[in-house]
Amino acid sequence: AQSVTQLDSQVPVFEEAPVELRCNYSSSVSVYLFWYVQYPNQGLQLLLKYLSGSTLVKGINGFEAEFNKSQTSFHLRKPSVHISDTAEYFCAVSEGGSARQLTFGSGTQLTVLP
């Protein structure tokens, strides 16, 4: 069965600094990978996704992620964060490309400090 591990539950970072949010997954088959963002008291919205092709994926708000099959990782990065990036970030995996179920990580709270 697939699982997703987000190694850091909380990441504080100063404004304009770079950030990396880590995500590792376990699966024996091909996967599709997603990052979602959740702002306070809102639902989740899609930040970016990896389906196939280039392993470097660019998303909204200047975020990007790199799929590393050998390390089974899909880390999220941004070179310079803003206060408005403060939110919770969830990594998710769909095994075998199925639309039917995503498995979510436990989330990483990113707090951007002035």
Partner 1 sequence: DVKVTQSSRYLVKRTGEKVFLECVQDMDHENMFWYRQDPGLGLRLIYFSYDVKMKEKGDIPEGYSVSREKKERFSLILESASTNQTSMYLCASSGERTGSALFYGYTFGSGTRLTVV
Contacts with partner 1 by CB under 8 A lie at: 9, 32, 34, 36, 41-46, 49, 51, 90, 92, 94, 97, 99-102, 104-107
- Least distance to partner 1, CB of residue 94, Å: 7
| Residue 43 or 114 having the CB closest to partner 1 | 43
Cα separation, 65 vs 73, in Å, equals 10
> Does residue 65 contact residue 73 with C-beta atoms inside 8 Å?
no
CB of 76 to partner 1, least distance (A): 15
Report residue 106 as tokens.
């436990």
25 vs 90, beta carbon nearer partner 1: 90
State the nearest-atom distance from the C-beta of 56 to partner 1, in Å.
Answer: 18
Compare residues 15 and 24 and give the one whose CB is closer to partner 1. 24
- Reduced to 3 states (helix: H, G, I; strand: E, B; else coil), residue 67 is strand
> DSSP characters for 28-39?
SS-EEEEEEEE-
- Least gap, CB of 46 to partner 1 (angstroms): 6
Could you give the CA distance from residue 57 to residue 42 in angstroms, rounded to a whole number? 25
**Is 8 or 15 the residue whose CB approaches partner 1 more closely?**
8
